[in-house]
């Protein structure tokens, strides 16, 4: 039977019984709501027997069985073990990412940064406030990026030249003493027991043990073994090592040899006599033969090259 013809049949039934359309008599009867005249009339109708059977047998129908006890167990279990909703998983992932990001940020900012230059090389780098640091051979600087603009402090081991941007106090700490400045250019050299500070611009304050010395442009100061050894002058605009030369003033031989071996990244063995004779002058750091010649002539020594990187002086 096609849908159209069925609809048509329903329509004809409804037309014959206009009351049904509004009252839904069959629905009322099925729900035991039909009473009195209406019920009697319905029971007398031809179709009643069939409806009665439908009512009777439809009540006997049932759906396929299922195991509701097992479902209950599943549900009760689900709450205990499986309470991690997708949202919570998402939040956990987000938290891990945020923590990871935070740690990265913290490491970047709070951790100590170390810049260094190996023997035979120099390194130039910028601090967070764009102050420039030039590290001489075999030197290192340690500083923190965090809060740099308010606390410009770094630790120097070796020798470095600083061009400090204007701002708050800039401090260079060494094992031997502390140098603090406002905005200037200065050189700090901290080798063995000797500290040399030269000021090329502005004002530099040097604290060495209990002494405090203020350097202005062109002034130098050196301390060795707890005493100030000279307070000479420099007419240079920047330290000589930037031009591949090293200027020594009243330096002992061992310190000069140490410096040469650092600059050229070689080993120098000294087999001569111990001497207290100091040296003042400039030694080139880009021509080993000339440098050795100057030392040999000054101290009356013979130079023998065992190899390119191993030299014996006697």
Partner 1 sequence: MKSKSLSGICEELIFSNFFKSHVKALRNFMYYKFGNAEQAEDVTQEAFIKLWENCEKVPLDKAKSYLYTIANNTTLNQIAHQKVVLEYAKAAPKQDKTFESPDYHLEENEFKVKLQKAIDKLTEGQRTCFLMHRIDGKKYSEIADALGISVKAVEKRMHLALLELRKEIEYFK
Please give the residue ranges that form the binding site for partner 1 (CB under 8 A): 1, 6, 9-10, 13, 20, 24-28, 30-31, 47, 50-51, 53-54, 56-64, 66, 68, 71-72, 74-76, 78-79, 83, 85
Is 202 strand, coil or helix?
coil
Closest separation in Å from C-beta 60 to partner 1: 5
CA distance 60 to 210: 108
Whose Cβ is closer to partner 1: residue 34's or residue 257's?
Answer: 34
* Token pair for 25: 């008599």
Cross-strand bridge partners of residue 171: 153, 180
- Give the pair of three-digit tokens for residue 11: 């329509």
Nearest distance in Å: CB 102, partner 1: 32
Q: How far is the CB of 72 from partner 1 (least distance, A)?
A: 5
CB of 83 to partner 1, least distance (A): 7
DSSP string, 134-183: EEPTTEEEEEE-TTTTT-EEEEEEEEEEEEPPSSS-EEEE-SSEEEEESS
Q: Please, which residue, 62 or 300, has the CB nearer to partner 1?
A: 62
276 token code pair: 């207290």
Considering the complex, state which of residue 52 and residue 149 has its C-beta at the smaller distance from partner 1: 52
Residues 184/164, Cβ–Cβ less than 8 Å: yes
Q: How far is CA 289 from CA 73, 152, 267, in A?
A: 91, 41, 14
Strands 185-191 and 152-163: antiparallel
Q: Strand, helix or coil at 212? A: strand
Which CB atom, from 10 or from 95, has the smaller least distance to partner 1? Answer: 10
Q: Which is nearer to partner 1, 27 or 99 (CB)?
A: 27
CA distance 50 to 31: 16
Closest to partner 1 by CB, 30 vs 303, is 30
Residue that is written with structure tokens 């700090």 in the block: 188
Give the nearest distance from C-beta 143 to partner 1 in angstroms.
53
CB of 39 to partner 1, least distance (A): 15
């Amino acid at each position: 039977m096609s849908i159209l013809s069925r609809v048509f049949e329903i329509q004809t039934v409804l037309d014959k019984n206009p009351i049904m359309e509004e009252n839904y008599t069959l629905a009322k009867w099925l729900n035991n709501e039909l009473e009195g005249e209406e019920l009697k009339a319905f029971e007398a109708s031809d179709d009643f027997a069939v409806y009665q059977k439908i009512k009777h047998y439809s009540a006997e129908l049932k759906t396929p069985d299922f195991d509701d006890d097992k479902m209950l167990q599943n549900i009760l279990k689900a709450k205990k073990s499986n309470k991690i909703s997708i949202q919570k998983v998402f939040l956990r992932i987000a938290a891990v990412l945020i923590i990871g990001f935070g740690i990265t940020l913290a490491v970047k900012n709070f951790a100590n940064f170390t810049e260094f230059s190996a023997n035979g090389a120099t390194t130039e780098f910028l601090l967070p406030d764009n102050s420039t640091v030039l590290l001489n051979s075999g030197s290192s600087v340690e500083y923190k990026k965090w809060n740099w603009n308010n606390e410009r402090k770094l630790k120097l081991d070796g020798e470095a030249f600083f061009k400090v941007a204007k701002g708050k106090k800039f401090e260079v700490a060494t094992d031997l003493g502390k140098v603090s400045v406002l905005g200037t250019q200065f050189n700090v050299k901290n080798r063995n027991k000797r500290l040399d500070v030269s000021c090329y611009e502005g004002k530099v304050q040097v604290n060495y043990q209990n002494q405090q010395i203020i350097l202005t442009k062109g002034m130098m100061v050196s301390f060795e073994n707890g005493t100030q050894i000279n307070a000479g002058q420099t007419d240079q605009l920047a330290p000589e090592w930037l031009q591949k030369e090293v200027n020594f003033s009243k330096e002992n031989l061992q310190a000069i040899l140490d410096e040469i071996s650092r600059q050229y990244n070689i080993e120098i063995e000294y087999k001569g006599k111990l001497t207290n004779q100091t040296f003042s002058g400039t030694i080139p750091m880009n021509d080993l033969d000339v440098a050795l010649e100057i030392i040999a002539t000054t101290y009356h020594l013979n130079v023998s090259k065992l190899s390119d990187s191993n030299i014996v002086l006697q």
